[in-house]
């Protein structure tokens, strides 16, 4: 297959086999049709119909569905998803152990959303196993996407012998073990199996062989849960009821129950300040020497690497060093992405963007040296206390000017959030905001495109702060950063999100369906919100691209005029004045 290098088989289906493969865009999932499908005209026609529905209707941010469909010279069909990290929930369980309750809720709610979407299109998933959950982003709190196995488990009239089931018995509902067809209730049962495994590392029913495991699915009660998981017992017991009528009536009902188990913290305000995990083999620790620097402490951790404070061996000067994770330093595409972050920052060179001093590759170590910031992130500042309106405007103006400079050289950040905005003090004791972490930036230009190439359907960044088009995995431009910065400003002023929701998943999904709630006339501190800010945030959070500010430069200019005091300083250029006048009307 041209431009695709199959790496390992993920699953065997009745009409296709699924593989993890390498492509020019990175790791992708590939589904390849069986020879008997193309040899039978009737079966081939049904397959094409199913392919069309799967590739055109199954579009959901939590679903990993085919993005590219093509026919090989031998007549076989190949379906390719957008880029994936290659890590699955099975890998996560093996490397890091069971999920805690908060993380299991977050994963469960997101998967329920995806399944509810499939059921609305008449599709039953039928294979809710950890190896079908793909993870992206932060290693500790990844984004979860469910592999859409509608084609993998395609059932044509001649596709598989009657009664043959190509799913491990640990993940079958009792009715499927008895030879009956899958229904949406089977996915409710499957969610019970999956949640049990995410919480304990083991599926609830697993015997010495297929026959024994099926018997357990049909007749055995749910095994007792270990201490600390008591609150899950009634939820899992109902999911795993032997009779479909005794289970939750839908995935929406199960999702609502999951939300009541434990409220999820709002990351805009809540900050985890716990001790870092102990270093694993191959990772740096205080006292180690890296190049010309001695490591002092780990000060941050992300999906691609760790950030350490360090001191130069010869000069009494502290720096920050971002080190690519050892397991990623052996993957060329990850190294390219890491290097491109440093290149992106150096393309901009703006006082409100963190400065990178050096980029080094020594054997398996890849790292870059940057200025050490002593300030606090906006996330921590917001946790400490509400921020007054004038300070919010000043900080957001600095962020907008930095991002406008980045956009001017073709760099779109794509991950603007309070964590990535740090507030320092300059020589005069005034706030100086720094934008950092360009690790998922999109860069215009042939030289760095390979490291950051994305396809329709790939979601990069942090969904809570994303623009609607970015949540859906569509191509983004500078207006996605405008949206995210507007979201940050809104939350700083109000200490709430502009979309209603009882948890993070619901907050994310609301922006796809409705407009943001108005910021209101007063801040959390009771300060009057000027009409200019109300209108600016209304535009910045518009779902439709055409209704947002035309550029980050314009957004920064508007904030600058607000900061100066619009009524006292009417010297506005013509394009900006026309926007203000339209707002007044």
Give which of 471, 473, 472 is closest to 462, Cα–Cα.
471
The reply to whether 384 belongs to the active site is: no
The sign of the CA dihedral 445, 448, 450, 451 is negative
d(CA 458, CA 472): 8
For 404, 414, 524, 547, the CA distances from 485, given in Å and listed in that order, are 12, 10, 18, 16
* C-alpha of 328 from chain center: 18
Residue 201 Rama label (left phi>0; alpha psi -120 to 50; beta): left
* C-alpha of 483 from chain center: 17
Whether the Cβ atoms of residue 439 and residue 341 lie closer than 8 Å to each other: yes
d(CA 583, CA 585): 5
Residue 34 makes CB contacts below 8 A (sequence gap 6+) with: 15, 16, 17
CA dihedral 188, 193, 194, 197 (to 10 degrees): 160
Residue 389 burial (CB < 10 Å; 0-12/13-18/19+)?
buried
**Which position has the token pair 């397991």?**
327
CA dihedral 178, 180, 184, 188 (to 10 degrees): 0
280 DSSP assignment? P
Alpha helices by DSSP H, listed for 411-467, are 446-452
136, 415, 419, 481: the catalytic one is: 415
Alpha helices by DSSP H, listed for 6-58, are 35-39, 41-57
Residue 483 makes CB contacts below 8 A (sequence gap 6+) with: 466, 467, 468, 470, 540, 541, 542, 548
d(CA 98, CA 138): 16
213-246: b (≥16 Cβ within 10 Å) or e: bbebbeeeebeebeeebeebeebbebbbbeebee
Is 16 in a helix, a strand, or coil?
Answer: strand
Structure tokens at 310: 């360090």
Active-site residue list: 415
């Amino acid at each position: 297959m041209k431009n695709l290098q199959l790496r390992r088989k993920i699953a065997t289906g009745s009409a296709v086999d699924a593989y993890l493969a390498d492509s020019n865009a990175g790791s992708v999932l590939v589904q390849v049709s069986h020879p008997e499908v193309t040899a039978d005209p009737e079966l081939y026609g049904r397959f094409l119909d199913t392919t069309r529905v799967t590739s055109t209707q199954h579009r959901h941010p939590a679903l990993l569905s085919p993005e590219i469909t093509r026919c090989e010279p031998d007549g076989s069909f190949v379906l390719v998803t957008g880029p994936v990290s290659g890590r699955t929930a099975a890998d996560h369980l093996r490397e890091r152990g069971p999920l805690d309750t908060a993380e299991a809720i977050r994963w469960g709610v997101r998967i329920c959303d995806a399944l509810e979407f499939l059921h609305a299109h008449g599709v039953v998933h039928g294979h809710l196993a950890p190896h079908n959950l793909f993870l992206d982003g932060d290693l500790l709190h990844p984004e979860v996407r469910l592999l859409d196995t509608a084609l993998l488990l395609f059932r044509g009239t001649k596709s598989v012998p009657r009664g043959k089931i190509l799913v491990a018995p640990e993940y079958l509902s009792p009715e499927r073990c008895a030879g009956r067809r899958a229904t949406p209730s089977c996915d409710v049962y499957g969610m019970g199996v999956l949640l049990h495994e995410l919480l304990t590392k083991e599926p609830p029913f697993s015997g010495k062989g297929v026959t024994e495991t099926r018997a357990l699915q049909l007749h055995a009660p749910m095994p007792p849960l270990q201490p600390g998981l008591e609150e899950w017992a009634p939820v899992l017991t109902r999911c795993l009821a032997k009779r479909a009528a005794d289970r939750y009536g839908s995935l929406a009902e199960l999702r609502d129950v999951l939300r009541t188990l434990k409220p999820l913290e709002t990351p805009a305000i809540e900050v985890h300040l716990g001790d870092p995990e102990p270093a694993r083999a191959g990772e740096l620790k205080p006292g180690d020497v890296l190049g010309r620097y001695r490591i002092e402490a780990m000060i941050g951790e992300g999906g691609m690497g760790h950030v350490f404070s360090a001191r130069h061996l010869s000069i009494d000067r502290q720096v920050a060093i971002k080190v690519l994770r050892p397991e990623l330093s052996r993957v060329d595409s990850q190294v390219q992405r890491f290097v491109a972050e440093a290149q992106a920052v150096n393309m901009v060179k703006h006082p409100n963007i963190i400065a990178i001093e050096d980029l080094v590759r020594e054997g398996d170590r890849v790292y870059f040296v940057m200025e050490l910031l002593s300030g606090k992130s906006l996330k921590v500042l917001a946790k400490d206390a509400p921020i007054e309106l004038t300070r919010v405007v000043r900080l957001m103006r600095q962020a907008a000017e930095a991002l406008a400079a980045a956009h001017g050289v073709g760099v779109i950040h794509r991950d603007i959030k309070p964590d990535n905005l740090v507030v320092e003090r300059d020589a005069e004791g005034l706030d100086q905001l720094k934008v950092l972490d360009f690790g998922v930036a999109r860069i215009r230009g042939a030289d760095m495109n390979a490291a950051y190439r994305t396809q329709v359907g790939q979601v990069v960044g942090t969904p809570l702060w994303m623009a609607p088009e970015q949540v859906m995995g569509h191509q983004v431009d500078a207006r996605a950063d405008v949206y995210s910065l507007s979201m940050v400003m809104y939350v700083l002023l109000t200490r709430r999100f502009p979309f209603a929701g009882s948890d993070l998943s619901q907050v994310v999904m609301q922006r796809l369906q409705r407009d943001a709630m108005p910021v209101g006339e007063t801040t959390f501190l009771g300060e009057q919100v000027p009409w200019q800010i109300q209108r600016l945030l209304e535009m910045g959070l518009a779902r439709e691209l055409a209704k947002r500010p035309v550029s980050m430069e314009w957004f920064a200019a508007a904030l600058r005029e607000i900061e100066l005091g619009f009524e006292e300083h009417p010297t506005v250029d013509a394009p900006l004045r026309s926007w203000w006048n339209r707002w007044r009307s």
